[in-house]
Amino acid sequence: MPAVPAPLRALAGSIVAVLLLAGCQTLDDAGQVIGRSDLINDLASRLDQSGELTYSADYQLPAGESASIVQSQQPLRAAYLYPGGRLTVTPDATTECVAAGKRQDCVVDPPPQQTDRPSVTLFDKAGERGLITPPVVIGLLTAAALDPDAVIEQNDTTVAGRHATCLAVSQVTNAPAASFQTCVTTEGVLGSFTGVVDGRQVDIALSRFRPEAESTAFDLPAGAGVVDRRSAAQ
């Protein structure tokens, strides 16, 4: 798959490349290798391809809270909105906002360079607030693919009216999540995720999908305090 010059695509593409190589490893049961690789690679590839989509996806979180993932291709950018904050990644900046009382404080950093692979820790704040992002899910699938003892089960379902393929993963060692369930729609959009990641319970489900980007998702919150660190990084 040709590389797309964007931070999110660089991250997802690098992880998927590792994932595909995992299918070449040898186990006692060759049929198990092929089956596991096919299942996991298919789901990871769908998530990877979602980087080429323009869409807005709303998610239901526990306790009546909600979150959103918004992505645009022209210009290429992504926004993650979750309770108590938001994260946006654009060609110009990486902006992270955290609630501080009645307003949000935002830190604006330079975007990762085209040749760099942004760390998955970039998405930690979203995970702490209950929203798991596609790059993190791809990383968890990678860990499952590399673990010969992991148990993988597949089923199909419908999420927010859209067909989705789901995997139930368990008995993964040396990974942020020992077990989890995730669904990905036919388009490649994250449909749901349930599991304990780095000791935090994550439970999200797609509630609404639109094939266009909500432009306001990329705006700074009204009245936000802003610290722009791009000049200092030059």
Question: How far is residue 187 from each of residues 1, 47, 162, measured CA to CA in Å?
Answer: 17, 9, 9
Question: How far is residue 178 from each of residues 22, 41, 202, 216, 229, measured CA to CA in Å?
Answer: 18, 19, 13, 37, 37
Domains observed in the chain: 7-228 (2.50.20.10)
Task: Give pLDDT tens digits along the chain (234 positions).
Answer: 333 334 444 433 433 333 333 333 333 344 444 466 678 888 988 898 888 899 999 999 999 999 999 999 988 888 999 998 999 988 889 999 998 888 899 999 988 765 444 455 567 667 778 899 888 899 899 889 888 888 999 999 999 999 999 999 999 998 889 999 999 999 999 999 999 998 889 999 999 999 999 989 999 998 999 999 988 765
pTM: predicted TM-score of the whole model, two decimal places:
0.79
- Over residues 169-190, the pLDDT tens digits come to 999 998 889 999 999 999 999 9
Task: Look at the alpha carbons of 89, 72, 159, 63 in this order and tell me if their dihedral is positive or negative.
Answer: positive
Closest listed residue to residue 209, CA positions, set 57, 81, 67: 57
- Over residues 66-113, the pLDDT tens digits come to 999 999 998 888 899 999 899 998 888 999 999 888 889 999 998 876
> Token pair for residue 131?
């929203």
Residues 43, 36 contacting (CB under 8 angstroms): no
